[in-house]
Structure 1
Amino acid sequence: MTFSVLSIKKLNKSFQRDDKTLTVLDGINLDIQQGEFISIVGSSGCGKSTLLRLIAGLDQDYQGEILLNKTPIREPDLKRGLIFQEHRLLPWLNITENIGLALEETAFTQNEKQSLIQEHINIVGLQGFEKSYPHQLSGGMAQRVAIARGLVNKPDILLLDEPFGALDAMTRGHLQVELQRIWQHEKITMILVTHDIEEAVYLGDRVIIMSARPGKIKNIIDIPITHPRQRSSDALFKLRNQALNQLDHI
């Protein structure tokens, strides 16, 4: 049985620029179910990343409601993990220590923390690199560490803002497969912001298509294909074309 873990109601967001009001998000309404994988796509400047920041609690200056488990989001907390395009690992800490940063403010014992860190190193496939430093890792490996750090404290939602945008096509494709596997393993709600429509359709249970600024939800495309998915699937190809057609007519 599923339920809405995140509910967004009549969300509006504006910025003041040169004595003018710039509306970025306009009337966003969205319910996201427990364990869903949601992809958000749209043109540059449509407010995708702004929406993710609001869900993360990094900005409280908006109108409307954002409810996590029926509770208003007021500030950042451990219930929402956030992963950016850059891995943002601290260069003077090794993999184990970087992942452990996400557990500093938790009530876990030291033994529980070490167990969680090792569990998530294993989940992202980095066994044997526990003592390695960021400069010793490839870009793809560093993003795996960032994913492990985002998951290690067992958040309700993992927010991903173009997490593979800086990677080469081969590494990106491989990590998309890995993210699909990790999502299935962790059974966590994930929200992905991406410019890559193929990535959005391949990973998402639903693809949210946003209009150009001011950002509104133009359409929602269901992707009723079981995981794990095959990129060569005819059904996936048709849904990708449907999404592309929607983007072309924004």
Structure 2
Amino acid sequence: MPTIDTVAALLAKAERTDNPDEADAYLSKAQQLATLYAIDLAAAAAANGGRSRSTRPVQRTIVMGQPRKHVLPHLVGLFLAIARPNDVKADIAHNSTYVIAYGLPDDIDTVESIWLACAPRMVHECAQWIAGDAWRGDLVARWTRNGLEEVPVSARGAKATFCRAYAQRVGSRLAAARAAAIVESDESAADHGSGKDGAAIVLFAKSKQIDEYYCGACNALVSCRGFRGATSGRSSASGRAGDAAGQRARLGNESPLPGQRPGIQAS
């Protein structure tokens, strides 16, 4: 059975390599192993009645950053994009300074590890994008005294578009790796003549368990308000740049900065 330590080791390798393709391969393998581990754990839980502590849902508070930072909603959005393919649910503080994650302990560990790797990269690449001029050509629809017109996007709007596209791309990569792991698990079970339930069924049962725990334990915090200004679409320059940056994301561990959460410098 692959372990969470193996997943962490792959994320570390993704960080050390300078080859983007190699880093992406490490990322995909890390998510696949995390999913395979989750499948094995869920199957074991079903067999023993869920008596193991590692198969009991928990909740954990994870700090996003200091109050009144514009980047906080984008960090939350990234966390949620990573959480979905790993069967982790979350409540969000009204000011987006923290989230409360609900799920199995190892699943939350996986989400937090990937988020801590992605977040500083997203913030850094977004800052580099805004420092250039390419985003200034993006337009957004806005009501003016002359009616609905297309006007230049603001810097905050361009940042929001970039970060949303980044988070969506990272989430889609993780979802693809999860799907590949489900296929791999089912093929392995078929090769060995196993009579176990399919991986998708096992994961669905686990997801239902998390949903029930969440409904009983959640603190009913507000949903993330996010950026409420005008943003350009994903096909805009900022959207394409964020999507490309999310595709390049290594998802390994970054070094912490003095006085900050590991690797994250909120602005």
TM exceeds 0.5?
Answer: no
TM-score (norm 2): 0.23
TM-score, structure 1 as length reference? 0.24
Q: Which has the larger Rg?
A: 2
Q: Per residue, is there more strand in 1 or in 2?
A: 1
Q: Counting helix residues as a fraction of each chain, which structure ranks higher?
A: 2
Higher relative contact order structure (alpha carbons within 8 Å, sequence separation ≥ 6): 2
